[in-house]
Amino acid sequence: MLNIVYSNNTQNLASHLAQQVLKAPLSPFEQETILVQSNKLSRWLTLFLAQQHGIAANLVFPFPSAYIWSVFRQLWPDIPLDSPYSKSALVWRIYALLPRYSDVAGFESVSTYLGETNEPLKRYQLAERLADNFDQYLMFRPDWIRQWEKGQTDNWQSQLWYALTEHDTEPKHRAYLLEKLHDKLKNSNTPPEGLPQRLHLFGLTALPPVYLQTFTLLARYIDITIYTLSPSEYYWGELIETKQHHRVALQQSPDAVPYEPDHPLLASLGKQGMTFFRQLQEIEHQSISYFEPPESGQMLAELQADMYWLTVAEKSPVIETDDSIMVHSCHSPMREMEVLYDQLLAMFERDPDLSPADIVVMTPDIGVYAPWIEAVFGSAKGDQFIPFSITDYQSQSESQLIQTFLSLLQLPSSRLDVEMVLSALACPAVQKQFLLDETAIEWVRTWCRHTHIRWGFDQQDKQRLNLPATDANTWRAGLNRLMLGFAMPLTVPNQPVRLFDGELGLDGIQGEKATVAAALCAFIEKLNLWREVLDKPQTILDWHSHLNHCLDTFFDTSGRDEQQLDAELMAVRKQLDKLLESADQASFADEVGIELMHSWLSSHLEELNGAERFMGYGVTFCGMVPVRSIPFDVVCLVGMNDADFPRRQPGLSFDLLTQDHREGDRSRREDDRYLFLEAILSAKKRLYLSYVGASIVDNNDIPPSVLLSDFQDFLSMRFETQSGGDILDQIKTKHPLQPFSYRYFDGMDDKLFSFNASQCPPQIVSPKADWFASPLPEAEESWRHISVDQLARFFAHPAKFLLRERLHIQLQPDEQVLETREPFQLDGLSSWQLRQELLEVNLASAPVAAYRDIVRAKGVLPHGYIGDAWFDQEVDKVMDFSERLEQLRSESVAFTLPFEFCVERFQLEGQLEAVTEQGLLRYRLAKLKGKDVMAAWLDHLVLNHLHPEGIALETRLITEDNMLHFLPVNNVTPVLNKLLDYYWQGCHQPLKFFDKASLAYFRGVIAGKGDAAIEQARKVWSSGNLHVTSEQDDPYYQLLYPDSPLDDLFTEIAEQIYQDIVSHLQGGKL
């Protein structure tokens, strides 16, 4: 017997199912079979039955297609587990068949697409589309299939299908087996063996006509109950849209009785549901109704009641506090998530009984929104954290293991660039396989930076690209430097560095680092080995073996804490098994390349445990898929954009279904329209809609989805405000571009608010607490024992010294992405480092030109003549600078002068380097900076305090653009006292003394610029150009000085410090 249960409430349908299961329980050894069209619906139904019965067990939820195939196998044991005409098997059969038809008449369009090269990947992609077409024909056009198999071929697809089946006397595909099953069910008086006592079809909104016929015939032998959601208790299978009403009215005679208009939303959005409803009415069945008239009151309930009664009530006012329907217009998907987060917090505040599990958020493309969901909802803390889970999100998008495996499949076409290799090493399963950890990866990254590894395994990689054969900047060169650094020290007495067979070792490769270096070498060697293995075409059987071996080679997921990684690895292995099964079903034994394997695996690695995530934890974020009419208190639809919903599915020119539409055919656009209707009906308390409604570039309005636009039009027609205004003015909110807009915090608009206090503009929010409103507690006496080097570090960057030394706050710079191209020029830092090295070599009386081989071995220089020219250019600069130094260098032997003395309560210690009879000579091959002046000045003050016999109390500072000559200081103690007092002050609160800004200011002062001096300092502190780095961009300054620190105290400190320096400079200028 066939029973059909109708209801406008999914919970009522589930309750009837629960009663039937409880009323006539099956044997404990017999499964309850419930057919569904969505894993998410089976998840919800399992939870519902468990709540009703206290337990849900021995339930099976097959899809209709899978269940019907199981019936085939029960009736005819020779039917295989998977059809040789399944889509996965058809792909390979079509792929192998296509080349034979390149010159056959009628296949000209196929031959043109594939081209003369017959590229395998293009051929496979075409085979995929054709297999999908044939799969649809088997389900929706079995009559075509019968004609084609009889040789009635009138197009190239029919010829292709005939070739696929011509040697199969009894093709075991769905169309043939369904016809055979129908004949058996029609002509037999005894029930087929193996059928269950009863069958439930739950929540179906559409079913291919041939499947509906199958279940109708099966109902002659077993009880079958179809549970279907219907928005109305009354017949709604023939509703006509408003525009069709107008067309009919124009064609009628003036005396004809006018048609009563149908509900416009139901008629427009419910076409798919109406088709299925009509199909159900055409079959013989017993009808059971469990309808529940919606309660009126709020706007959402009134809307659902109108659909239930198939009428449109008179326009009615809506109270201002009615928030059952909300529409939000934002500037971007990220802003949609930020607005949604605040709106959900407001809902929880207004409705204490509302739980996060009562909310579902659906979007047409969850992949676009998942990162923003994680960024907004995942970053919330404390009481404002909303539990959430994301389902329908492709695992390869979020699984590092799967992403790493797919990147390994691209090794044959990879340059082995440094970032690609380090990305693979970042995978925890790879690290475990090669006995590495995060610390080791940081070492590897540092080594790659120091050895200048860019791309390529060795010189042969470059040769293959018609580039000069050199190992420079390849992994071979870098690994050689690591191994040489382990085997021999970099330096020997009286020689700066030494080469071994043209190679330069890297210092520090000892102990645990040597073990890491060996693991890195093993990893790179395996990458190169597998690059060769994967570059050869192989059969699917060989690929199955090799790719499983590849997984064993690179990944280790053993251990109790690696369950997720192990599940991801098993998912890859299962897909490889499915790949082999599909090839076996198709008897496909051709060799294929790795590009095709990568394409197949990329498209088949689906989400992991997606059903378990649905309704598993907090707010459910998911994609918009058919058959998700599950009731929630709050239903949110985001991303209702004109270009994204209804989703467009461009028809293929060779899809014959588009040329012969029949009732019951599936349409992506009609699926989405009905999905929108289901969302409206499934919302029990609130319906939340949002879209990108304004341009992020120029703020111009962007129209929403046509479905949302029609929905808004209907709301304007059906409802109004209490004052008679447009209801959209009350329920629709246009949000500002930024979350820190004043409008969210000024209280002028009740619809605009924010729970994020950190976004509140400083003029509104109470001022932040000043860390140093009062000085830090007095430092210990040990802080008064200081070396001159520490004092120089302090005056170079007082803010950094205070935070790092006193408060132990170390702000790490963002990890820089390693360069993946060989050097074509030297940047500013590399040029400066090279010049410093060359200068030290030249001052040590070593031949500078001979240092070229060492620099080349480091991988710093561009290749070839360009590198030589660049090296010569830097050598010229060094030689010019050296000549200036030689004129000032003393012929007497330099020596080191250790010291330790007290200045009032402070004790200074250390040693003065390079002391000669002429005093001190300090130099730096760079432009003069404030820290250079302060370091030289401190050394000069110590020299004058020590007053060594026979030593001139003078200091010279040579830079690329300046030369300062410090004269003797007659009374040095007060000057040192002043600097030490500033040091002690800076140990307790920030000292407003800056390397660049303070020097720029005082230079303006001594130049007589007056008020312009401070403006000069402000330009140095903040350039006003986003593309130019200023002194204020230093992370330590950003933390301590949210506002400009260039005030009167700043000018006073700069004048106090630099005035003493200038008064002891020859010429009195900086």
Confidence of residue 677 (pLDDT cuts 50, 70, 90): very high
Is residue 333 within a helix (H) or strand (E), and if so which, with residue range?
A: helix 333-350
Residue 521 CB neighbours (<10 A): 16
| Mean local confidence (pLDDT), 330-355 | 96
778 neighbors 988 (Cβ within 8 angstroms): yes
| Greatest Cα pair distance in the chain | 127
Name, in order, each residue with C-beta under 8 angstroms of 289's C-beta and a sequence gap of 6 or more.
5, 6, 7, 233
Query: Is the Cα torsion angle 432, 434, 437, 442 positive or negative in sign?
Result: negative
CA pair distance 1054, 999, nearest whole angstrom? 7
Q: Terminal CA-to-CA distance of the chain, rounded, Å?
A: 102
Q: Given a cut of 70, is residue 64 above it in pLDDT? A: yes
Residue 831: per-residue pLDDT: 83
Share in percent of the chain as helix, strand, coil (round to 5): 50, 10, 40
Angle at alpha carbon of residue 513, lines to 512 and 517, rounded to 5°: 120
Do the strands 895-903 and 906-916 form a parallel or antiparallel pair, or are they unpaired?
Answer: antiparallel
φ and ψ at residue 684, rounded to 5 degrees? -90, -35
Q: Which of 651, 649, 653, 650 is nearest to 109 (CA)?
A: 653
| Mean local confidence (pLDDT), 39-55 | 90
| Mean local confidence (pLDDT), 214-231 | 94
Q: Given a cut of 50, is residue 523 above it in pLDDT? A: yes
Give the CA count within 13 Å in the CB-facing half-sphere of 156.
19
Question: Which residue intervals of 586-667 are DSSP H helices?
Answer: 594-604, 610-613
Confidence of residue 287 (pLDDT cuts 50, 70, 90): very high
Residue 560 CB neighbours (<10 A): 6
245 neighbors 261 (Cβ within 8 angstroms): yes
Q: Given a cut of 90, is residue 687 above it in pLDDT? A: yes
Q: How far is CA 763 from CA 164, 740, 767, 892, 1012, in A?
A: 74, 12, 8, 65, 29
3-state secondary structure of 378: coil
> Any idea which of 124-133, 969-978, 1009-1018 has the lowest mean pLDDT?
1009-1018
Task: For residue range 981-1031, list pLDDT tens digits in order.
Answer: 999 999 999 999 999 999 999 999 998 887 889 999 999 998 777 667 889
Q: Which of 669, 651, 667 is nearest to 659 (CA)?
A: 651
Residue 854: per-residue pLDDT: 81
998 neighbors 1053 (Cβ within 8 angstroms): yes
Name, in order, each residue with C-beta under 8 angstroms of 492's C-beta and a sequence gap of 6 or more.
498
| Mean local confidence (pLDDT), 410-420 | 93
390 neighbors 373 (Cβ within 8 angstroms): yes
| Mean local confidence (pLDDT), 66-93 | 91
| Average of per-residue pLDDT values in the chain | 88
Is residue 20 within a helix (H) or strand (E), and if so which, with residue range?
A: helix 10-23
447 neighbors 429 (Cβ within 8 angstroms): no
| Residues counted in the chain | 1070
Residue 1062 CB neighbours (<10 A): 17
φ and ψ at residue 64, rounded to 5 degrees? -55, -45
> Any idea which of 43-52, 120-129, 858-867, 979-988 has the lowest mean pLDDT?
858-867
List of domains in the chain: 1-81+172-292 (3.40.50.10930), 84-171 (1.10.10.160), 318-393+620-650+665-735 (3.40.50.300), 396-604 (1.10.486.10), 779-991 (3.90.320), 992-1070 (no CATH)
3-state secondary structure of 816: coil
Is residue 979 within a helix (H) or strand (E), and if so which, with residue range?
A: helix 972-986
Question: Which residue intervals of 845-919 are DSSP H helices?
Answer: 852-858, 864-888
153 neighbors 159 (Cβ within 8 angstroms): yes
Q: Which of 633, 10, 705, 720 is nearest to 299 (CA)?
A: 720
Task: For residue range 789-829, list pLDDT tens digits in order.
Answer: 999 999 999 999 999 999 998 887 655 677 878 888 787 77
- 8-state DSSP, 861: S
CA pair distance 552, 107, nearest whole angstrom? 44
Name, in order, each residue with C-beta under 8 angstroms of 649's C-beta and a sequence gap of 6 or more.
668, 669
Residue 257: per-residue pLDDT: 46
Q: Which of 333, 369, 335 is nearest to 736 (CA)?
A: 335
Residue 606: per-residue pLDDT: 63
Confidence of residue 397 (pLDDT cuts 50, 70, 90): low
> Any idea which of 20-34, 550-564, 822-836, 1034-1048 has the lowest mean pLDDT?
822-836
Q: Which of 739, 742, 715 is nearest to 729 (CA)?
A: 715
Residue 198: strand pairing partners: 223
CA pair distance 543, 594, nearest whole angstrom? 9
Query: Is the Cα torsion angle 225, 231, 234, 235 positive or negative in sign?
Result: negative
3-state secondary structure of 360: strand
CA pair distance 122, 360, nearest whole angstrom? 40
Single-letter code of the amino acid located at 581: E
- The token pair that represents 119 in the structure block: 């590229």
| Mean local confidence (pLDDT), 230-257 | 68
Name, in order, each residue with C-beta under 8 angstroms of 484's C-beta and a sequence gap of 6 or more.
500, 503, 504, 505, 506
CA pair distance 632, 615, nearest whole angstrom? 10
Q: Given a cut of 70, is residue 607 above it in pLDDT? A: no
- The token pair that represents 281 in the structure block: 């009415």
Q: What is the 3-state secondary structure (H, E, C) of 724-735?
A: CCECHHHHEEEC
Task: For residue range 131-153, list pLDDT tens digits in order.
Answer: 999 999 999 999 999 999 988 88
613 neighbors 390 (Cβ within 8 angstroms): yes
CA pair distance 760, 741, nearest whole angstrom? 8
Residue with tokens 């009641």: 305
Confidence of residue 885 (pLDDT cuts 50, 70, 90): confident
CA pair distance 771, 907, nearest whole angstrom? 29
Q: Which of 962, 957, 924 is nearest to 943 (CA)?
A: 957
CA pair distance 938, 953, nearest whole angstrom? 13
818 neighbors 418 (Cβ within 8 angstroms): yes
Integer-rounded Cα radius of gyration of the chain: 39
| Mean local confidence (pLDDT), 769-795 | 88
Q: Which of 993, 1056, 983, 1061 is nearest to 786 (CA)?
A: 983
CA pair distance 237, 429, nearest whole angstrom? 56
φ and ψ at residue 726, rounded to 5 degrees? -65, 130
Query: Is the Cα torsion angle 414, 415, 419, 421 positive or negative in sign?
Result: positive
Q: What is the pTM of this model?
A: 0.79
Residue 254: per-residue pLDDT: 58
Task: For residue range 705-741, list pLDDT tens digits in order.
Answer: 999 999 999 999 999 999 999 999 999 999 999 999 9
Residue 611: per-residue pLDDT: 45
Residue 878: per-residue pLDDT: 86
